[in-house]
Each structure stands twice: as structure tokens, then as C-alpha cells.
Structure 1
Amino acid sequence: MRWRPADFSLRYQVLFPLYAHLPPVLGYGLAAQQATIFRRNKADEAASIRAQMCSALPEASDTQLAGWLDDYYRMVEQEALDTWYLQHQPIQQIVELEGFAAIEAARRQGKRVMLTGGHFGRFWMAGPAMRAQGFTTGTITRDGGATNSHGLHPAEYRYRLFKLQRLQQALGGNFLVEGDELRPLYRALNDHLIALIFDVPYIEAHKGRVTVNFISGTIDLPAGIYRIAKKTKAVIAPFFMRDLGGGRVRAEFSALLDPYDYDETVLMQQLASQLEQRIRESPGHWWLWPALPLLRSNNNDSGDSSLAG
């Protein structure tokens, strides 16, 4: 067998760069078809996701569960391909915005705006579409990717760095690391939309959690989006992605939320309820099924909390 570098990846180094030169409907179609092939190496993960879906949505039939898993792995492949299409295709052919006028109006009034969602669908694609409308977007991440702190496969780690670079170029705003000083965030919010996608809480961050109702139980969520928005006097703009087929998606924005109108538990419950509605509509488009046990409020002390879509 010919020797290959440890960080070689057929998907990342051959297939996706090739697909990205094709019309989107064809490229995304090929990415969807290959999902079945690359999923074969993730049998344990697929079984875990299916178990979580079944636990949360016990009324689901075997046929529904199988379809949702197909949706999940199709999304994984298409989301990876997004990284290459950011450079090769007009973004308007792939993404449309709905409800964005409220954010445009808020910015015209000089308001700071924080975007949020719950790791649903190909959410990064909203940023380039907003850039096409003249609005740059930054984000707050859990780490800057400088080291392979999560022990990813070398090919996966190299892809994550490449993806981060492409996103920074496409979104045009500051990429800040969670836990750093607030002063750069204040400045960034003056110039950009800033996204903070609510995630699995850190195991040790007990004070930053709130418990909310969510899909046949309760979960703990980090309330950072609420606290940061309140400190910076920003409004919160929830958004979720809808898959339109053929690789196209729509970013759908909900009504703006002013943190001064709520306490943190009520606001996070609103976000969780909106996310649950989207999950019930399209269960296969939620990235955090593998992390649901870590979110459950009766299971605060298990596992690593550093999971993201």
C-alpha cells in the first residue's frame, strides 16, 4: 500500500475541493450521496444519536428515526462542503435571509446586536449572507484552535483550522475567545454583529447555568448570551436555519429580545423553546444529539462538555 501522510483526507483534500467548482445543486448532491459511505465508520456514533432521538422523541417510528439519521449525516457532509463554497460561489445561490429587516433597523438605530441559536442546521452560512447585505459578523468561540486541545484526528484538526480561516475571511468580523476581556467585545459590537451560539455548559461552570424545559425533560444551558448582552446593552437576535433542499438553506430570524425585559432563566427558556420547535420539525438538523446527556440537568457531572457542531 502506498504510504500516505497521517493528516491525509480524501474528503477534505480531494472530494470537497472538487465539488466546490460545480454548480451548488450538483456539488451538494454529491456531498449528500457520500454521507452514506463515510457514515459507515461512525456506527457507534450513529447508534448513540439514534438512542438520544428515541429517548427524547419516544413516539418516533423506526422509519422516522432512520430518516432523521440520514438527514443528520447529510447535513454533516454538506456543512463541511460549505467551507469550500464560501470562496467559489455567489452566496445568494445558497443562502437566503428571512426576518433580517429587524436587525438592519436595530443597527440603523445604533443598537448593538448579538446573534444566537442552538447549533441547528448549517448555521455558519447565515454570516456570509449577512455580509452580502453589508453586515459583517464576528463570533465568540470556546477556543481559538491554536492547539489540538480536543485530540482530533490530524486531518480533522487541519480542516478545523482551514474552516476557521475561511469563516473569518467570509464573515469579516472579530473572532474572540470566550473568557477573554470584555473590552474588545464592546468595540467589536460597535462595528459588527456578534454571534454566540449557546452550547453545552462547562462542567465546572455551575454559576453560569440555568435549568429550562426541553424535549421530554430539562436541560442546563450556559446563560452567557444573556449576561454579555446585558453588560454590553445589546439586543439578542435568535436565528435558525431551514434546509430548502438541493444544498440551499434559509436563515430565519425570530423577534429581537432585549435582556432588560427578562431575567436570565426566562430568556434562556425562550431560546430553548424556539430551538425545541425547530428540532421537532426537523430532528436530523440538530448538531448536539450526541451531547444531549451532558445537557440534561440531572446529569451535570458526566463527560467532557466541549462538544459543538
Structure 2
Amino acid sequence: MSQTEEPRPFRPDHYLTNLAVRGLIRLALLFPYRLRVWFLGWLMRRVIGPLAGYRARALDNLAAIWPDLPEAERRALADQSLDNAGRTVIENYSTAEFTARAAKLVPEGPGFAALEAARAAGRPAILVSGHFGNYEAARAALVARGFQIGGLYRNLSNPYFNEHYVRTMQAFGGPVFPQGRAGTAGFVRHLRAGGQLVLLFDQDVPSGELIPFLGRPARTALSAAELALRLGADLIPFFATRQPDGLSFRIELDAPVPPSDPLTMTQAITASLEQRVRAHPGQWFWIHKRWKGAPTG
């Protein structure tokens, strides 16, 4: 905290929530890796998700996007989404085991060759994805191959939880930057030096453009495309798809999006994410308020 920044007022609800979450994570970390990943998936699906309202939100989103899908199938997809979210949380806190597994993954797709070419030429690259599978598996796999993959994150409203959440992201290697002026300056310097940056673009942004996502307009930031055009960086969609064993991933990098204008380029990366979500709908975070503030009907 800087000298000019006022201390945050004490929030007992935030403090107690953080204690409960940290205690749960520490308990899970006592289990063998396979068991802890299964346990957090089960706990999110059966306990936390229903109590916190995440399951209801996922069901509402699924009903809005695929109203003709039978209710039983929507419930199954909501459960799969919660299970994936729970697994993702504990995987990201299992730094040593998770990064060791990710280091063995072999990235695929034309975007990987493009990323290697950009590194060889000292040209920056921006890797874009959504909250799908476990995106950190791809970053860890690329860091293990010598890439300087930076990350951009949004500070959580709970400062106690945010503190160890940021440390967890830093543990994957590569610098991480908070949203805001200072963070923006940091990752711009990182890119200008020929580094790489990961951006997740699938959350609601009030100032974003309305771009159809899964058939319904969603407020979407154009910042990734704008930054790529400004710095001459490759804009590469990437995805880490969870495999049927629930533990391993397939890392795929699509071909770089051709430079044009920010809206067209953002529509292209949105289409890439749509393709993955339609193929594996249970792996996207339906618990997010993705269509918040977008027109209905």
C-alpha cells in the first residue's frame, strides 16, 4: 500500500470469509493431488455452488442461451461447470504439482509456431482466452518452455483473499499486473521488451462493445485488440481443455488474428471461444454474470 493510499476499513465479513476459504484450501492441500482436485470439484458442485448461488446463476445463463435444451441437460452442464471451477481453484493453489504436470504438456496448433516465431524476432504477443478449462495450465506449459508469459488480473473485492490470490498467480512464473494505471504501464513495458501477456476477455465490461457471444449480445472489452494494434503484437487465441480424466489438459493455440480494427479482431477471438464452449460447454464458467447489462429479448 502506498503512503498516499488510505487503509481499507476493517470488514469482518471479508476477514471471516477469507479465513474459511484459506482453511478449506489448506485442508485440501493435505490430500494427495488427485484426491484434492476431485474433492474441490465435488465440494463446489454439491455444497459451495448451490449455497453461494453459483448453480442458480449457471442455470439462468444456460436457460437464456439454450432455452430449448432439456432441463436435465442444463442441470448436468451447470454441475460440470461448477466441478471444473472447483478443480481449477485447487489446481492453481497446488503450484508445485500443477506446474510439474503442465510442463509435460505439448502445446499444439498454428499459434504455437507463431508464438515461437514472435519470440525469435523479439516481437510481443498477446495470448487471449476465456474462463474455460484451466487457462493457467497453458501459461504454465509455456513458461516451462522459456516464454515470459505475463498475466493481468482484476483485484478482488476481498483484500485478505486477494493477497494470497495474487501470490498464487505469481508462482506460475512470469510477471503479473493489476488492472489500473500502474498495471497497464507495467505490462506495456513488458510487451515492448518482446514479452508475452495473457488476457482473459470474457467478463462483462460496462464500457465494452456489444458483441454477440453464444447468440446474445455481451459487453466486451476491445483492449486486447487495441493493444495488439498499438504495439504490433500477435493476437493469439489459446485454450486449455480439460481431458476426460479430469486432471490433464490439451493446450491449443489458434492462428494469430489478422490485424484489422479492434472490433473485427475482438469478434474473431470471441468466435474462437464460442467454438470451444459449444464443443465443451461444461468447461466454461457459466457462473459469471457474462450478459450483465446487455439488452434482453
- In the TM superposition, what is the alpha-carbon distance from 1:164 to its structure 2 partner? 1.0
Contact 1:95/1:129, CA 8 A, preserved across alignment = yes
1:271 to 251, 269, 272: 269
1:196 and 2:209 correspond: no
* CA drift at 1:90: 4.8
Whole-angstrom distance in 2 between the partners of 1:198 and 1:109:
26
Q: Distance in 2 between matches of 1:128 and 1:186?
A: 21
The offset of 1:180, in angstroms, is 4.1
Structure 1 pair 247–184 and aligned structure 2 pair: CA distance change class (3 A): same
Does residue 51 in structure 1 map to residue 63 in structure 2? no
Q: 1:248 and 1:172, CA in 2 relative to 1: closer, same or farther beyond 3 A?
A: same
Identity within the alignment, %: 21
Indicate whether 1:12 and 2:10 are aligned: no
Residue 255 of structure 2 corresponds to residue 255 of structure 1: yes
Shift of 1:16: 3.1
Structure 2: give runs of 5+ residues left out of the alignment: 1-14
Describe the SS at the equivalent of 1:139.
strand
Counting only pairs closer than 5 Å after superposition, residues 1-309 of structure 1 correspond to structure 2 as 6-7=16-17, 9-13=19-23, 15-20=24-29, 22-35=31-44, 36-42=46-52, 44-92=53-101, 96=105, 97-99=107-109, 100-142=112-154, 145=155, 150=157, 152=158, 157-180=159-182, 183-189=185-191, 190-203=193-206, 205=207, 209-244=208-243, 245-259=245-259, 262-287=260-285, 289-294=287-292, 296=294, 298=295
Q: Is the 8 A contact 1:115 1:195 kept in 2?
A: yes
The SS at the match of 1:291 is coil
How far is 1:289 from its partner? 4.6
Distance 1:8 1:138, change over 3 A: closer
Runs of 4+ residues deviating >6 angstroms: none
Q: 1:131 to 1:61 in 2, by over 3 A?
A: same
State whether residues 125 and 197 of structure 2, in contact with CA within 8 Å, keep that contact through their aligned partners in structure 1. Answer: yes
- Using the size of structure 2 for normalisation, the TM-score is 0.81
- SS of the residue 2:143 aligns to: helix
When residues 247 and 94 of structure 1 are mapped into structure 2, their CA distance, relative to the original with a 3 A threshold, is: farther
Q: Report if the CA contact (8 A) 1:54-1:65 is conserved.
A: yes
Cα separation, 1, equivalents of 2:86 and 2:184:
35
The one-letter code matched in structure 2 to 1:112 is P
DSSP 3-state at the match of 2:140: helix
Distance 1:263 1:80 in 2: 35
Count residues with an aligned counterpart.
277
Distance 2:256 2:280 in 1: 23
Instruction: Sort the Cα spacing of 1:217 and 1:265 in 2 relative to 1 into closer, same or farther, 3 A.
Output: same
Aligned letter for 1:81? I
Cα distance change, pair 40–119 in 1 and its aligned pair in 2 (3 A): closer
Range that drifts further, 228-237 or 124-133: 124-133
TM-score, length-scaled by structure 1: 0.79
- Structure 1 residue matching 2:69: 3-state secondary structure: coil
| SS of match in other structure, 1:134 | coil
